[in-house]
């Protein structure tokens, strides 16, 4: 099969591309070329890089021509300039769907968020929900994946937790109440997505994808710290502090320590799909628990945050 992946050089898109190539499929990586964290993705065999963003419907159509399916993994967790939630999640998804129709693509699968929903006061959640609705109402075969916390090599969670533990002697927990999460290994997620794209599974369904282990956010953070070999002083700070912190770091860091959207996400808990989602069949349910070995495999090289993590210095 020939499959296009938007956000193809990103975290989930890159992992998905690798497993599809391993299975003998041809992959078109749709990418603006901005994400260079994983340079090896550009040397992946049996792939073609289409240097186009989701804002260009005509070029997307050209890239999708001859493809059997599209995996729409492109997204943002903060707004920068013209890269707004509306532009990327809503208008970008509409462009992907329109281009897929003109290119006669048979299926579109979209990666969304577990608690994406309308009328909740969060631009991130509401725009992700709007993107889901565009795909569900496209007239194409589709699968919507409502995923929770995803971790693995190249992610933001393990990457930023590791760097934070190597930088700060204090770690501030989000909010005064501990919330539950079900961390999902990226390997489990992409196996589900690949089954949908290649085998035609989960046709016209919206499904939740969550890891098999439910634990508190603080327990997950402390487990990562233990693997990293750091033991910071933990304290709980109110959401107002974290929203203020996220507002600051979104403006000064290339990849912020925490975004406003992530603060909202972590304040709610991430164990229940809203407003609805089907459960996965037993053979596709994630199996890998959030173990020390799993964490260790996903950790980046040990280092602290530095000047290169600041937007001004990264530009200069």
For residue 238, being part of any structural domain is answered with yes
Q: Tokens for 298, please give them.
A: 């996903």
What phi and psi values does residue 151 have, to the nearest 5 degrees? -130, 160
115 and 225 in a single domain? The answer is: no
Query: What pLDDT does 299 receive?
Result: 96
CA distance 201 to 7: 22
124 and 220 in a single domain? The answer is: no
266 near 122, Cβ under 8 Å? Answer: no
Q: Which sign, positive or negative, has the C-alpha torsion 73, 77, 83, 89?
A: positive
CA distance 32 to 34: 6
CA distance 247 to 253: 11
Nearest-CA neighbor of 150 among 202, 111, 104? 111
Please count the other Cβ atoms lying within 10 Å of the Cβ belonging to residue 201: 18
**Helix (H/G/I), strand (E/B), else coil: 291:** coil
CA distance 211 to 229: 24
For residue 279, being part of any structural domain is answered with no
170 and 190 in a single domain? The answer is: no
State the DSSP code for 30: E
For residue 37, being part of any structural domain is answered with yes
Judged on CB neighbours under 10 Å (0-12, 13-18, 19+), 92 is buried
106 near 68, Cβ under 8 Å? Answer: yes
Query: What pLDDT does 37 receive?
Result: 65
Query: What pLDDT does 313 receive?
Result: 75
14 near 20, Cβ under 8 Å? Answer: no
Alpha helices in 168-216 (DSSP H): 186-199
Nearest-CA neighbor of 109 among 187, 189, 203, 179? 203
For residue 36, being part of any structural domain is answered with yes
Query: What pLDDT does 35 receive?
Result: 60
Q: How many structural domains are present in the chain?
A: 2
Query: What pLDDT does 41 receive?
Result: 83
CA distance 196 to 202: 6
CATH number of the domain at 200, please: 3.40.50.720
50 near 31, Cβ under 8 Å? Answer: yes
170 and 86 in a single domain? The answer is: no
For residue 280, being part of any structural domain is answered with no
State which residues form the domain around 116: 2-150+184-209
136 and 227 in a single domain? The answer is: no
197 and 56 in a single domain? The answer is: yes
101 and 24 in a single domain? The answer is: yes
What residues in the chain have per-residue pLDDT under 70? 33-39, 314-316
140 and 260 in a single domain? The answer is: no
67 and 117 in a single domain? The answer is: yes
Q: Which sign, positive or negative, has the C-alpha torsion 107, 111, 115, 117?
A: negative
For residue 277, being part of any structural domain is answered with no
For residue 258, being part of any structural domain is answered with yes
For residue 10, being part of any structural domain is answered with yes
149 near 183, Cβ under 8 Å? Answer: yes
Query: What pLDDT does 42 receive?
Result: 83
Query: What pLDDT does 316 receive?
Result: 53
59 near 52, Cβ under 8 Å? Answer: yes
9 and 54 in a single domain? The answer is: yes
167 and 300 in a single domain? The answer is: yes
194 and 57 in a single domain? The answer is: yes
Residue 249 CA from chain centroid, whole number? 19
């Amino acid at each position: 099969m020939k499959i296009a992946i938007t956000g193809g050089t990103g975290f989930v898109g890159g992992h998905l591309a690798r497993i599809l190539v391993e299975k003998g499929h041809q992959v078109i990586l749709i990418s603006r070329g901005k994400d260079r964290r994983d340079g090896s993705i550009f040397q992946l065999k049996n792939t073609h890089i289409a240097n186009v963003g989701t804002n260009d419907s005509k070029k997307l159509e050209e890239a999708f021509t001859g493809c059997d399916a599209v995996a729409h993994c492109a997204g943002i967790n903060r707004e920068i300039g013209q890269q707004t939630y509306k532009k990327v999640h809503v208008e970008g998804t509409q462009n992907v769907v329109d281009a897929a129709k003109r290119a006669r693509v048979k299926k579109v699968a979209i990666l969304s968020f577990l608690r994406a929903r309308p009328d909740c006061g969060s631009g991130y959640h509401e725009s992700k929900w709007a993107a889901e609705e565009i795909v569900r109402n496209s007239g194409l075969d589709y699968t919507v994946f409502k995923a929770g916390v995803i971790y693995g090599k190249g992610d933001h969670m393990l990457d930023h937790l590791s760097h934070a533990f190597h930088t700060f002697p204090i770690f501030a927990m989000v909010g005064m109440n501990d919330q539950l999460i079900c961390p999902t290994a990226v390997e489990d997620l992409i196996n589900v997505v690949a089954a949908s794209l290649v085998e035609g599974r989960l046709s016209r369904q919206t499904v939740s994808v969550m890891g098999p282990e439910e634990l508190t956010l603080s327990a997950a953070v402390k487990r990562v710290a233990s693997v990293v070999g750091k033991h910071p002083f933990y304290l709980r700070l109110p959401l107002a502090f974290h929203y203020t912190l996220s507002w600051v770091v979104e403006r000064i860091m290339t990849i912020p320590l925490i975004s406003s959207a992530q603060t909202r996400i972590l304040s709610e808990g991430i164990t229940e799909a809203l407003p609805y989602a089907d459960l996965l069949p037993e053979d596709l349910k994630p199996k890998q628990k959030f173990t020390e070995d799993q964490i260790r495999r996903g950790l980046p090289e040990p280092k602290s945050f530095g000047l290169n993590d600041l937007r001004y210095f990264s530009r200069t």
